Amino acid sequence: MKELVERIQKDGRVLGEGVLKVDSFVTHQVDPVLMEQIGQRFAEVFKDQGITKVVTIEASGIAPALFVAQTLNVPMIFARKAKSLTMDEELLTTSVYSFTKQVTSTISISRKFLSAEDKVLIIDDFLANGQAAKGLVELCRQAGAGVEGIGILIEKSFQDGRQLLEEMGLKVVSLARIAALSNGQVEFLEEDA
Ligand code: 5GP
């Protein structure tokens, strides 16, 4: 997606250790105009898949996922990383290792929001080693829901997340694909949409 690639070139910052900082438009301050365009692009790609729910993980996935859900006219669910006191009902849970925070956390979704009738589109901001997306797939599968695809804003193609998800038989669509982050420069591959 040209607009996202250009924005990464303009405002993304390369940190050491293969990390890209996009906190001025995605992960902390959020650009709603860009998020709306992203929502429309994913909705266009997945419009014939019969999606009934958009699923993401807090916090940075919520903004893009909400715009996708609005365009597809379906609910958006975000997996929580900490158990809320008000989540007293039955939960779908799994553990996820965070690439950036280097800790394992339990993520959960209330069982009542996903069922075997659902066709899910998973959305997340980054794809690195694929653990966050894999955790979301596991929550969907616990509910018997089908996962129709995974939409990623920024894929770091030098890590193995995409391969892991494709080996699980999942369709991955990334709006920006990064081949390398070196010497403060971002090198792109051709994006999927
Ligand atoms: P994975 O589970 O695929 O290894 O990592 C995905 C999660 O890690 C994303 O949800 C995102 O929060 C975080 N993440 C991974 N790589 C980066 C990065 O380069 N920059 C930022 N800002 N977050 C990242």
Structure tokens at 22: 């996009």
Which string of DSSP letters, residue by residue, matches 18-54? TEEE-TTTTSSS--HHHHHHHHHHHHHHTTTTT--EE
Q: Is ligand 1 within 6 A of the CB of residue 174?
A: no
Is the pLDDT reported for residue 101 higher than 90?
no
Residue 193 lies inside a defined structural domain of this protein: no
Pick the range with the lowest mean pLDDT from 55-64, 77-86, 93-102, 137-146.
77-86
Instruction: Give percent above pLDDT 90 in the chain.
Output: 90
Q: To the nearest 10°, the Cα dihedral for 131, 192, 44, 5?
A: 90
- 188, 178 contact by CB (below 8 A): yes
Structural domain total, the chain: 1
Span 70-82, pLDDT tens digits: 999 999 999 999 8
Q: Give bridge partners of residue 15 from the DSSP assignment.
A: 19
Is 156 assigned to a binding site?
yes
Q: How many whole angstroms from 187 Cα to the centroid of ligand 1?
A: 17
Structural domain boundaries enclosing 89 = 2-188
Span 52-63, pLDDT tens digits: 999 999 999 999
Q: Is ligand 1 within 6 A of the CB of residue 91?
A: no
Q: Is ligand 1 within 6 A of the CB of residue 20?
A: yes
Is 130 assigned to a binding site?
yes
User: Which CATH number is 11's domain given?
Assistant: 3.40.50.2020
pLDDT of residue 1: 98
Q: How many whole angstroms from 138 Cα to the centroid of ligand 1?
A: 18
Average of per-residue pLDDT values in the chain: 95
C-alpha to C-alpha distance for 175 and 123, rounded to whole angstroms: 11
If you average pLDDT over residues 35-48, what whole number do you get?
98
Residue to mutate (ligand 1; options 19, 22, 100, 172; most atoms within 8 A of CB):
100
Is 132 assigned to a binding site?
yes
User: The pTM is what?
Assistant: 0.96
Residue 92 lies inside a defined structural domain of this protein: yes
Q: Is ligand 1 within 6 A of the CB of residue 129?
A: yes
Is 52 assigned to a binding site?
no
